[in-house]
Amino acid sequence: MHPALQAVLTVGIGVSSAIAYFYLANMFLDKVLFPPRGANAGRNINRANMIRPWVFLFPALFALCLYLAYPVVETIRLSLTDRVPGGYEWAGAENYVALTKDPKFWEALRNNFFWLLVVPGLSTAFGLIIAQLTDRLSWGNIAKSIIFMPMAISFVGASVIFKLVYDYRPAGEEQIGILNAAYLALGGSEPQAWLTIPGLNSFLLMIVLIWIQTGFAMVILSAALRGIPEETIEAAIVDGANPFQIFFKIKVPQIMPTIMVVWTTITIVVLKIFDIVFAMTNGQWGTQVLANYMYDKLFRANDWGMGSAAAMVIMLLVLPILVWNVRQARKEMR
Amino acid sequence: MADLKLTDVGKTYGGKVEVLKNINLDIKTGELIVFVGPSGCGKSTLLRMIAGLEKITGGTLEIDGQVVNDVPPSERGIAMVFQSYALYPHMTVYDNMSFALKIAKKSKEEIDEGVQRAARILQLDQLLDRLPKELSGGQRQRVAIGRAIVRDPKVYLFDEPLSNLDAALRVATRIEIAQLKEAMPNSTMIYVTHDQVEAMTLADKIVVLANKGIAQVGSPLELYETPDNEFVAQFIGSPSMNLLAGEITGPGDETQVTLKGGGMATSAIPTQTADKGRDVNVGIRPEDFTVLEGEGAAIYEGKVDYLEALGEVTLLYFEADSGANPVIAKLPGIHGDLRGRTVKLTADPARVHMFSNGNSMRG
Cα end-to-end distance, chain A, whole Å: 51
Q: Mutation test of the interface with chain B: which of A233, A238, A256, choosing the one with the most B Cβ atoms within 10 A? A: A238
- How far apart are the C-alpha atoms of A46 and A209, rounded to whole Å? 52
| Neighboring chain B residues of A237 at a CB cutoff of 8 Å | 52-53, 72-74
Of A218, A222, A50, A236, the closest CA to residue A125 belongs to: A218
- How far apart are the C-alpha atoms of B182 and B159, rounded to whole Å? 19
Q: Which amino acid is at A116?
A: L
Give the number of domains in chain A: 2
With bands split at pLDDT 50, 70 and 90, how would you rate the model's confidence at A24? very high
* Domain annotation covers residue A91: no
By the 8 A CB rule, do B205 and B218 touch?
yes
**For residue range B190-238, what is the model confidence (pLDDT) as tens digits?**
999 988 888 888 899 999 988 888 889 999 999 999 999 999 999 888 8
DSSP state at residue B351: G
With bands split at pLDDT 50, 70 and 90, how would you rate the model's confidence at A11? very high
B177 with B117, same domain: the answer is yes
Write out the H or E segment, with its range, that includes residue A266: helix A256-271
A264 with A146, same domain: the answer is yes
B231 with B259, same domain: the answer is no
* Peptide bond preceding B239 in cis form (omega within 30 of 0): yes
| Neighboring chain B residues of A232 at a CB cutoff of 8 Å | 86-89
With bands split at pLDDT 50, 70 and 90, how would you rate the model's confidence at A17? very high
**For residue range A51-83, what is the model confidence (pLDDT) as tens digits?**
889 988 998 999 999 998 899 998 888 888 887
> Which regions of chain B are under pLDDT 50?
none
- How far apart are the C-alpha atoms of B334 and B325, rounded to whole Å? 24
B97 with B177, same domain: the answer is yes
Q: Does residue A106 have a pLDDT over 70?
A: yes
A101 with A55, same domain: the answer is no
CATH of the domain at B152: 3.40.50.300
**For residue range A83-97, what is the model confidence (pLDDT) as tens digits?**
777 777 787 778 888
B284 with B159, same domain: the answer is no
Contact B86 A253 (CB under 8 A): no
DSSP state at residue B252: S
**A111-129: average pLDDT:** 90
Q: Does residue A180 have a pLDDT over 90?
A: no
How much is the pLDDT for A21?
Answer: 92
Burial of B328 (0-12, 13-18, 19+ CB in 10 A): buried
Contact B99 A241 (CB under 8 A): yes
**Assembly ipTM:** 0.81
B170 with B252, same domain: the answer is no
Which residues form the domain of B35?
4-235
Query: What is the overall mean pLDDT for chain A?
Result: 86
**A158-175: average pLDDT:** 82
Of B297, B315, B313, B296, the closest CA to residue B305 belongs to: B315
Query: DSSP states of A47-96 as a string?
Result: HHHHHHHHHHHHHHHHHHIIIIIHHHHHHHHHHTEEEETTEEEE-TTHHH
- Nearest by CB: A235 against B78, B82, B90: B82
B51 and A CB contact within 8 Å: yes
Could you give the residue ranges of the DSSP H alpha helices within A92-199? 94-101, 103-134, 140-148, 155-165, 178-185
How much is the pLDDT for B1?
Answer: 58
Contact B88 A250 (CB under 8 A): yes
Of the candidates B207, B235, B263, which is a domain's last residue? B235
Strand, helix or coil for residue B24? strand
B14 and A CB contact within 8 Å: no
Cα angle B156, B162, B163; round to 5: 125
Query: What is the overall mean pLDDT for chain B?
Result: 88
Q: B183 or A21: whose pLDDT is higher? A: A21
**For residue range B61-119, what is the model confidence (pLDDT) as tens digits?**
988 888 888 898 888 888 999 888 889 999 999 999 999 888 888 899 989 998 998 88
CATH of the domain at B286: 2.40.50.140
How much is the pLDDT for A5?
Answer: 92
By the 8 A CB rule, do B95 and B20 touch?
no
Of B66, B348, B222, B147, the closest CA to residue A239 belongs to: B147
> Where on the phi/psi map is residue B65: left (φ > 0), alpha (ψ -120 to 50), or beta?
left
How much is the pLDDT for A35?
Answer: 80
How much is the pLDDT for B34?
Answer: 92
How much is the pLDDT for A214?
Answer: 92
Q: Mutation test of the interface with chain B: which of A239, A252, A260, A334, choosing the one with the most B Cβ atoms within 10 A? A: A239
Which residues form the domain of A305?
97-333
B42 with B87, same domain: the answer is yes
CATH of the domain at A187: 1.10.3720.10
Contact A241 B82 (CB under 8 A): no
**For residue range A306-323, what is the model confidence (pLDDT) as tens digits?**
888 888 888 888 888 888
How much is the pLDDT for B19?
Answer: 87
A146 with A271, same domain: the answer is yes
DSSP state at residue A180: H
Q: Does residue A7 have a pLDDT over 90?
A: yes
User: Helices B167-183 and B137-150, interaxial angle, to 10°?
Assistant: 20
